[in-house]
Amino acid sequence: MKKSLFLFTLVGFLAVQAYATPTNDRKTKAPKNTWEQQLAKYIHYPDVLRQTKRGGIVMIQFRVNADNELCQVEVFSQNEQLNTGLIQQLTGKKVMIAANPGELYTVRLRFQPE
């Protein structure tokens, strides 16, 4: 009798668990900061684009040194003035994102007319 009662209770417990719907009360946290947001803080709308009132997308590659500063910055666009200006604006700037020193990062930034 005890075995039957135990098995009946076990089967009932497992059946209830099988049909239970788990709830997730935790809300996923949004990332505190992205690379795009960090770099956008240091960059102003380029004068080269301001003259033409055009927007554009540029690709930026960089590494972060042990002091969390941007180094080895490269900008990929068809405009050399834009490339040079962005490199000057970004090189040596501190970032607040945990980064692996020496790792190569690639970020796409979009510029829109002001």
Report residue 23 as tokens. Answer: 């709830």
pTM tops 0.85: no
> Where does the chain show beta strands of DSSP type E?
56-64, 70-76, 104-111
What is the structure's pLDDT at 101?
Answer: 85
Q: How many CA atoms lie within 13 A of 91 on its CB side?
A: 10
pLDDT in tens, 20-60: 666 665 555 545 568 888 888 888 876 766 777 777 788 99
* Domains of the chain, earliest start first: 35-111 (3.30.2420.10)
pLDDT in tens, 48-99: 667 777 777 889 999 999 999 999 999 998 888 888 989 999 999 998 888 8
Q: By CB neighbour count within 10 A (0-12 exposed, 13-18 middle, 19+ buried), where does 71 fall?
A: middle
